[in-house]
């Protein structure tokens, strides 16, 4: 298995090389040279543990890793970092199912990949005999930042910098990042939104002069965002795992199709579902759930992508994104891997903020459909799920649940539906609490959390409870055009 860029066919890398680089020199994203076909293997995979399944799936992609190396990476990631041995348990809510992806150290779905990726990167560094340090550069809309910081802290030969929109994340998300410990970590808020941060980070990757300065000082850039194939591939596993959970509990039969409903911002999470389908997982529809920043909803409805609109700050801030980077990988597949077309498409997008795909490409996206929900609908959905099922969901998961109901109203409910959760409701406690209970305006952040715990009859998760006594370590704020300065300040170059 090799890796190629979505924007050219001149570069072929091994898995470890693609993980180290993160982003191609031409600005494209690395994709596998082919998708492994697991259709004949499904029966044998259905009884595996999460770690066993992760090993089987990832060894098809990471072919330059030895079995021992891959096994060590997986065990180091999953054996002691999650509060359940299942890693991603699934809960039945009415006739539907919620895949709980928030049982890791930072209580968000990003933990599934970002507990594993640092070990993949460290192994990749050793395999390629690098004599430089890796500088992991990441923009976050909330959850990637903390998960990446926690995963990469104190790892030898790696430094990590995380940029987040100062006024675009929840109070708990911000506190998680600003209190992050580790001798090799740096966190900075920016005066701008996530798209500003993501765009600035991408420009740094493509800035040859600045990369030469970094190289001269002993650093190579990499990324922990889902633009890095090492972040994306581990997410494929939980699609298979959740499907097999329904098979093993006799909710479905093997080879029955299911729908997956995914709260979507940067498009990496739902793209992993597409990869799983291409590998043979029986998927009917991938339902792309958006908040009021509904560029993806518009795209799947019209074939046009237009980022030229005002970003709205919603109660689901991790999805407050107008440029969904991973969509490029899907478009690459939809045009039968025509890298010249993708390169031209995104050259136009960088200049105008707009592109339109062909009818043939649209036909190749029939696996997807899009829905979106307003903040008011999100609040009503949280209230409904809590009062009917005594189950708390966070604002992003609520977007997916609400979108599923809209999907059902337009389609026959022939298949089982699996909703991918985003985070613990305690990470967005104020908006969740306001959805189920009034008169909370005067409460401080941790008073809100305590009240939510009492009403929901759920203990406050330890990673959040521990924040009460943590000190602010990172209070850096930069303008969106000052990211190079922030990097130089941290590296002292």
Active site residues: 110
Whole-Å CA distances, 129 to 126, 132, 242: 5, 9, 37
The Cα–Cα gap between 37 and 389 comes to 38
For tokens 């498009």, the residue is 267
Query: What's CA 173's distance to the chain center, in Å?
Result: 15
Does residue 123 contact residue 448 with C-beta atoms inside 8 Å?
A: no
Q: Which residues of 165-185 are buried (b: 16+ CB within 10 A; e: fewer)?
A: bbebbbbbbbbbbbbbebebb
Question: Residue 157, SS3?
Answer: coil
Closest CA to 230 of 476, 422, 29, 430: 29
Torsion of CA 94, 255, 109, 47, to 10 degrees: 100
Token representation of residue 93: 């809510």
Q: Vertex 344, ends 340 and 347: CA angle to 5°?
A: 140
Does residue 270 contact residue 262 with C-beta atoms inside 8 Å?
A: yes
Closest CA to 241 of 404, 395, 97, 400: 97
Report the residue count for the chain. Answer: 493
């Amino acid at each position: 298995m090799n890796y190629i860029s979505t924007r050219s066919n001149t570069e072929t890398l091994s898995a470890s090389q693609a993980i180290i680089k993160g982003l191609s020199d031409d600005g494209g994203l690395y994709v596998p040279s082919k998708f492994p076909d697991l259709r004949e293997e499904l029966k044998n995979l259905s009884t595996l543990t999460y770690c066993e399944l992760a090993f089987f799936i990832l060894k098809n992609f990471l072919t330059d890793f030895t079995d021992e190396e891959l096994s060590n990476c997986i065990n180091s990631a999953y054996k002691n970092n999650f509060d359940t041995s299942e890693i991603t348990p699934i809960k039945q809510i009415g006739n539907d199912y919620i895949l709980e992806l928030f049982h890791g150290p930072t209580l968000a779905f990003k933990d599934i990949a970002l507990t594993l990726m640092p070990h993949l990167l460290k192994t990749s560094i050793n395999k390629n005999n690098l004599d430089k340090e890796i500088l992991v550069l990441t923009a976050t809309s909330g959850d990637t930042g903390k998960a990446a910081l926690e995963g990469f802290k104190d790892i030898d030969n790696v430094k990590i910098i995380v940029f987040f929109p100062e006024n675009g994340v929840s109070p708990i998300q911000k506190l998680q990042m600003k209190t992050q410990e580790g001798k090799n970590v740096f966190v900075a808020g920016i005066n701008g939104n996530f798209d500003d941060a993501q765009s600035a980070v991408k420009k740094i990757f493509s800035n040859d002069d600045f990369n030469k300065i970094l190289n001269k000082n002993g650093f190579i850039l990499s990324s922990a965002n889902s633009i890095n194939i090492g972040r994306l591939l581990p997410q494929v596993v939980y699609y298979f795992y959740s499907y097999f959970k329904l098979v093993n509990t006799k909710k479905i039969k093997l080879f029955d199709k299911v729908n997956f409903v995914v709260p979507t911002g940067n498009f990496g999470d739902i793209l992993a579902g597409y990869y799983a389908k291409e590998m043979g997982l029986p998927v009917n529809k991938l339902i792309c759930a958006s908040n009021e920043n509904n560029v993806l909803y518009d795209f799947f409805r019209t074939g046009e992508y237009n980022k030229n609109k005002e970003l709205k700050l919603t109660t689901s801030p991790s999805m407050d994104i107008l440029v969904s980077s991973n969509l490029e990988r899907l478009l690459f597949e939809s045009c039968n891997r025509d890298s010249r077309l993708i390169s031209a498409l995104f050259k136009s997008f960088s200049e105008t903020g707009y592109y339109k795909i062909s009818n043939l490409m649209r036909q190749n996206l029939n696996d997807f459909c899009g829905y979106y929900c307003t903040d008011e609908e999100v609040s009503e959905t949280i209230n409904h799920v809590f009062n009917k099922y005594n189950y708390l969901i966070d604002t992003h998961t609520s977007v997916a649940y609400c979108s599923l109901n809209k999907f059902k109203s337009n389609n026959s409910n022939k298949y089982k539906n699996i909703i991918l959760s985003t985070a613990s409701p305690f990470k967005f406690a104020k908006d969740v609490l306001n959805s189920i209970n009034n008169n909370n305006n005067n409460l401080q952040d941790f008073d809100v959390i305590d009240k939510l715990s009492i009403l929901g009859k759920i203990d406050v998760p330890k990673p959040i409870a521990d924040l009460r006594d943590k000190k602010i370590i990172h209070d850096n704020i930069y303008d969106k055009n000052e990211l190079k300065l922030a990097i130089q300040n941290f590296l002292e170059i």
